[in-house]
Structure formats: structure tokens, C-alpha cells
Amino acid sequence: MQGPLTGVVVLDLSRALAGPHAAQMLGDLGARVIKIEHPQGGDESRGWGPPFVGPDGDISTYFLAANRNKQSITLDLKASDDRDTLTRLIRHSDVLIENFRSGVLARLGFSTERIEELNPRMVLLSITGFGHDGPEGGRPGYDQIAQGEAGLMSITGPPGQPHRAGPSIADLLAGIHGAYGVAAALYEREKTGKGGVIRTSLLASVVGVHAYHGTQWTVAGQVPQANGNHHASIAPFGAFRCGDGMIQIAAGNDGHWQKVATLLGIDPARPEYATNRDRFAHRDELVNEMEKVLTTETRDHWLGALAEAGVPAGSIRTIDEVYTWDQTRSQGLLAEVDHPVLGPIELPGPVLRFDHHTSQDHTAPPALGADNDAVLDWLKGKEAP
């Protein structure tokens, strides 16, 4: 693969989702990613499902989602020979990603000080559940627990009924933030000649996207509440019932509201609806009044009318509808790869497009240890006099 990070070598010691997602993002940008897995079973997400696919029903679609554009080698880091191999790899790589619990990598003989000694240019990304230090720094972290501890569940779902976000968003955000940190560290290394350690966590990554929910508490002193399918600060802005289902309407300013009101036969200047502050204070009443009209026609009718009026609106698609949508496909959001067992398959693709780089070919997530020989041969070549 060619891309902005072509020539960068990434060692991916992580497993499950946060670290692998970060490494996959770097691979999408052209980095060579070497995934290091335990010989017995490898990354535990290889066993996570359903669904499982393949002739033997043993290939996890969960694993496929986070491990494209990687090579897999097997090392048992409790064995001295395999620790020696990792030592050699560290000397000739640029980035190491790990999401062990705090202190585990050091106990295996690879403290941050040891890694810096082996390769002063190494960029180390460490992802934990709740941070590497502090009173609860050693806690194991899984996505749903982090969603709850970081406040996300309290503002998701219907009022008074905490819900997890559908995707493992704490893991994914940690991976995204981690990849962002690696890119910044690689840029800094060009100026200083030195690598460094980047730390993030599931907790930090969720708190970091609280945005206006955070300032609602830190500045205004109000504890945010769940608002179901409606916006926490804007009205009307959310999901509304129509005659045959639901649509979403986003009246983000007074101009949009006036168009919505005119379309639905509501006086936009009524005192209780005149400004966003007024509309939000009377949101329940407003939603009921809008839905009385919206339920008289179909979703397609209203989506067409709203589009003609210039009001942001949309349908609520199922996942299969998203991946068959022409707009999704036009944006390169699916990556076709040739899997050694499954043949040609489509995976959710990279989210960045660079005008000066043509579309890239992607490689399928690897079988466990599939690249042992190739990586060791590459390593010997790097070490040759």
C-alpha cells in the first residue's frame, strides 16, 4: 500500500478493538503493520461472535472489522527466543501499539525505558481502560463499562433509561485518538529525531467528546439528561413519526424552523415557538403538534417536501441499507479485499480521502501467524551488514 505513512513500520501488540483499530487506521495510510499475536489463539477477538463465517464457521466478522492491511506473526512473549525477536523488531520499527493493563509490558521486559533504549526514535502508543495512573489506573477496561463510567450511557436513550451506544464507541474513539496522537508524534520526530510515549484511554476518549454535554455541567452547573432521539439544545431537531415510520428533521436555525413551520401549517411566530430557546422550552408540545401533521403522509412524501424547502432531513437506515446506498459507495467507504478463505469480501473502509493519492488496494485481515516467514525474512534483511 502507498499513502502518507508509506515507509512507517508499526508493531501492533494490541488486541480486541481499541489498539487494533488505531493500527488499522495507520495501515490505511500506508504504514506496514505487523500484528504480533500469541501462538495459542491469537487476538481474542478471533473468537468473538456470532457471526462466524467460512466453510468451518471459525472466522470472526468482529476480527475482520479491525485488522485489514496487517501481517500476523506469532510470538509468546514469555519465551526468551520470542522476546528476542520482538527486541529485534523494535529496533527496526517506528511505532509500537499496546493495550495491556498498566505494567504488563514492563513485566515482560519491555518497559518504556527499555523500548527507548532499543530505539530512541520509537513512538509508543499505550491505550488503557481508565488511564495508566491515578487511583483507578490499573482497572481493566471494556467498552461498555467505560461507556457507563464516562457518563455516555447517562445521556443516551430515553429519559431515565441509560443505554449503551450501539457500536463499541469508547474503544473506537480510543483507537481514533491514538492514531491521531501517533501521527502527531511522527511529525514531531521529524524535527527532534526522537520518539516518545502517547497515552490515551477509553475514559479519556469518551470524556474528550462530551462537547456541549460537558460544558453544560462544567460551566452551567447542570447535569445533562438523556433526550432520546431529540437534540439536547436545539428544537425541532430529532426523529419524528410519519405515516409509515420515522424521519429526522434538523431545524438548526430560525430560518429552517420557519420553513418547517410553513410546511406543516404552524405559525412560526407564535410566542412559544419564536426562538430556539422558546421552542426548546416547549419541545414536547412542539413535537406533538408536528407529528399530528407528519403522520398524515408517508416518509417519502415528507422527505421530498423538506428537501424542496431546503430543510436538512433524512431517513433512518438499517445497516444493510447504508452499505447498498449509492452515496456510501461513492465515498469509498467499502474496501474490497481478497481473503484467502472467504475469497473477495467487502469491509467497512477507510474514512479519509487524499486527493493526491489514488484509491488504494487493501489486504485482508490475516490468518494467525500467516506472515511469520515473511516478517522474519524482512527482519533479516534489515539486519544484514
Name the residues annotated as catalytic: 171
Output the nine-digit C-alpha cell for 282: 416547549
Tell the burial category of 281 from Cβ atoms under 10 Å away from its Cβ (0-12, 13-18, 19+): middle
Long-range contacts of 325-334 (CB under 8 A, 24+ apart): 332/359
Residue 71 and residue 372: Cα distance in Å, rounded? 8
Nearest to 248 by CA among 311, 292, 322: 311
Beta carbons of 33 and 20 less than 8 angstroms apart: no
Give the CA diameter of the chain: 82
SS3 category, 247: strand
The residue type of 167 is P
Find all residues with CB under 8 Å of 57, minimum gap 6, and list them: none
Residue 3 and residue 126: Cα distance in Å, rounded? 24
Q: Which residue has the cell 530512541?
A: 120
Neighbours of 283 (CB within 10 A): 18
DSSP string computed for 139-172: ----HHHHHHHTTTGGGSSSTT-----SS-HHHH
Beta carbons of 49 and 23 less than 8 angstroms apart: no
Q: Where do the DSSP E strands lie in the chain?
A: 9-12, 32-37, 52-53, 59-60, 70-74, 95-98, 123-128, 196-201, 237-242, 245-250, 313-314, 334-339, 343-348
The shares of helix, strand and coil residues in the chain, as percent rounded to the nearest 5, are 40, 15, 45
Nearest to 28 by CA among 11, 51, 6: 6
Residue 93 and residue 73: Cα distance in Å, rounded? 15
